[in-house]
């Protein structure tokens, strides 16, 4: 008898599986295709035990090639091909019997191939199937986490250049919220079962609060991974420094226990906190550098194509000030060559433009920002926002109005720009043109007041604080006159 992986797998097949496998492996998809059929016919009589003394390489070869000298390598090729087919068959069966797993793989494939419409319909169907079961087990939360991750992946694929942490990662917080529930449900299932069966009508926060409460009761004895998740959610919910410190320390002790997407999200959450607390804690930028360096060292900022995410540089220059400009320049110089060559120079010019702006080198800043390539529309538009402020400060009003016209045309014909983003840029341009009009002529207090009211009414106006500062300067000038 032949002692091989193939026959160990074949022995596990029931009668229906064996019948289906013979059809499956005879497909021309496999390297030998229909040539495998004679081999299968020979070993068929040994099913299901495959332990007969007559099941030898020599006997199989004789059945395939009567009267010809035995060649072991030929049989090894057949065994290898059938083993590959058997492994593919059991994987396929597993997927077919797990519709959520099948949907996951299908959605991923649609997204990778750029079939966005098929992805959208597939994801809608996946969520519908998932929600058919009213009970919310750890399996439910796991696939809720998976499908929400795919939604975020779709967004990032279509809008790869979103450079602000709130825009970039607010979805990630929700996604890992589901993963946390999955982990918590799995660990505390013995507690959950006798207490209640969680139905879809219950509020999500009720389950989270219940599980967080149970975790706090047994915090010291629960897995370290859950402790890290606990600090993660506490940091998101409270934005307290103590949870930042505890989470950072916990990651140092447990990071080998997490998958790369989890680890990446944890560190990004720490960076997010630092961005929001930067004005309160001047040391935040040094910590930002430290964490970013950790992420670079661990390839957590690396994309599928091997290049690092541009956000690691762009967000850094957005939060820096002139006091740390030397550190920022060194960081950019050391890392910009790790970026995708298509956007490398633009990211460098953007970063150096912002750094020079914050150092007070306005003319030098304009030179860099003007070179940012529109291949990345969000970065280009962000650079133009800085250029608008510089043109105003330098009183280059003709340049400013020319840039207004250019950006207006760009917004009109550039179809990839998010529909929610376009109105924000249009609002900015309207307010900016009005500001230029007032400041380039003799303005009166009523015009300034009207513009101030308009600006205050915009909840999401780009450079809103800058606009209000310019309004205040005009008011002061009016009072002096």
Task: Give the residue from 41, 68, 97 where a domain finishes.
Answer: 97
Sign, CA torsion 96/101/107/109: negative
Does residue 397 lie in a domain region? Answer: yes
| Percent of the chain topping pLDDT 90 | 20
Identify the H or E element spanning 174: helix 165-187
Q: What is the mean pLDDT of residues 197-219?
A: 59
Dihedral of the alpha carbons of 280, 320, 235, 303, in degrees to the nearest 10: 180
How many domains does one find in the chain? Answer: 2
Structural domain harbouring 86 = 5-97
Does residue 155 lie in a domain region? Answer: no
Looking up tokens 């989890």 gives 262
Bond from prior residue into 48 cis (ω within 30 degrees of 0): yes
Q: Flag the least confident range among 127-141, 220-234, 451-465.
A: 127-141
- How many CB atoms lie under 10 A from the CB of residue 395? 12
Please tell me which residue, 11 or 209, carries the higher pLDDT value: 11
From residue 60, give the alpha-carbon distance in Å to each of 75, 76, 457.
8, 11, 84
pLDDT band at 200 (very low <50, low <70, confident <90, very high): very low
How far, in Å, CA of 387 to CA of 366, rounded?
Answer: 6
| DSSP code for 70 | P
Task: Give the residue from 97, 121, 149 where a domain finishes.
Answer: 97
Does residue 24 lie in a domain region? Answer: yes
Task: Give the residue from 64, 97, 130 where a domain finishes.
Answer: 97
How far, in Å, CA of 282 to CA of 444, rounded?
Answer: 40
How far, in Å, CA of 392 to CA of 302, rounded?
Answer: 38
Residue 317 above 50 pLDDT?
yes
Q: Are 94 and 86 in contact (CB under 8 A)?
A: no
Classify 135 as helix, strand or coil.
Answer: strand
pLDDT digits (tens, 9 = 90+) for 340-377: 999 999 999 999 999 999 999 999 999 999 999 988 88
Does residue 306 lie in a domain region? Answer: no
pLDDT digits (tens, 9 = 90+) for 219-275: 777 778 878 888 887 887 788 899 999 999 999 888 888 777 778 878 888 888 887
Does residue 327 lie in a domain region? Answer: no
pLDDT of residue 162: 37
Does residue 303 lie in a domain region? Answer: no
Q: Which residues of 463-473 are buried (b: 16+ CB within 10 A; e: fewer)?
A: bbebbeebbee
Q: What is the mean pLDDT of residues 177-192?
A: 51
Task: Enumerate helices (H) and strands (E) in the chain, giving the number of each.
Answer: 24, 0
Does residue 461 lie in a domain region? Answer: yes
Does residue 49 lie in a domain region? Answer: yes
């Amino acid at each position: 008898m032949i002692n091989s992986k193939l026959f160990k797998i074949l022995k596990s097949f029931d009668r229906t599986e064996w019948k289906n496998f013979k059809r499956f492996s005879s497909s021309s998809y496999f390297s030998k295709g229909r040539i495998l059929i004679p081999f299968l016919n020979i070993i068929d009589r040994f099913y299901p035990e495959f332990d007969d003394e007559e099941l030898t390489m020599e006997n199989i070869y004789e059945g395939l090639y009567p009267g010809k000298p035995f060649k072991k390598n030929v049989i090894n090729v057949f065994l290898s091909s059938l083993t590959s087919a058997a492994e593919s068959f059991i994987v396929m069966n597993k997927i077919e019997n797990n519709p959520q797993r099948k949907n996951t793989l299908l959605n991923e494939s649609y997204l990778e191939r750029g079939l966005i419409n098929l992805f959208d319909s597939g994801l809608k169907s996946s969520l519908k199937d998932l929600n058919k079961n009213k009970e919310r087990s750890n399996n439910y939360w796991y696939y809720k986490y998976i499908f929400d991750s795919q939604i975020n992946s779709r967004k990032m694929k279509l809008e790869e250049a979103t450079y602000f942490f709130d825009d970039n990662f607010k979805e990630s917080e929700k996604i890992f919220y589901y993963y946390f529930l999955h982990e918590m449900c799995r660990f505390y299932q013995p507690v959950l079962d006798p207490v209640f069966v969680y139905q879809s009508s219950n509020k999500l926060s009720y389950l989270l609060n219940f599980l967080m409460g149970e975790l706090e009761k047994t915090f010291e004895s629960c897995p370290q991974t859950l402790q890290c998740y606990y600090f993660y959610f506490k940091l998101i919910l409270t934005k307290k420094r103590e949870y930042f410190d505890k989470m950072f320390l916990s990651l140092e002790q447990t990071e080998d226990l997490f998958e790369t997407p989890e680890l990446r999200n944890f560190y990004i959450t720490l960076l997010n906190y630092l961005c929001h607390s930067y004005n309160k804690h001047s040391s935040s930028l040094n910590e930002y550098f430290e964490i970013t360096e950790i992420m670079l060292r661990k390839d957590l900022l690396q994309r599928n194509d091997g290049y690092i995410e541009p956000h690691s540089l762009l967000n850094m220059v957005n939060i820096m000030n002139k006091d740390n400009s030397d550190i920022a320049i060194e960081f950019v110089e050391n890392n910009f060559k790790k970026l995708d060559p298509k956007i490398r120079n633009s990211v460098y010019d953007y970063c150096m433009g912002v750094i020079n702006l914050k150092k007070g080198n306005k003319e030098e800043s304009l030179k860099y920002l003007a070179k940012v390539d529109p291949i990345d529309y969000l970065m280009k538009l962000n650079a133009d926002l800085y250029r608008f402020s510089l043109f105003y400060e330098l009183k280059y009003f003709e340049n400013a109005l020319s840039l207004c016209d250019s950006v207006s045309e760009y917004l009109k014909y550039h179809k990839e720009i998010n529909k929610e983003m376009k109105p924000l840029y249009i609002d900015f341009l309207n307010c900016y043109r009005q500001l230029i009009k007032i400041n380039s002529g003799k303005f009166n207090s009523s015009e300034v007041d009207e513009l101030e009211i308009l600006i205050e009414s915009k909840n999401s106006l780009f450079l809103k604080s800058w606009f209000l500062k310019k309004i205040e300067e005009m008011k002061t000038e009016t009072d002096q006159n």
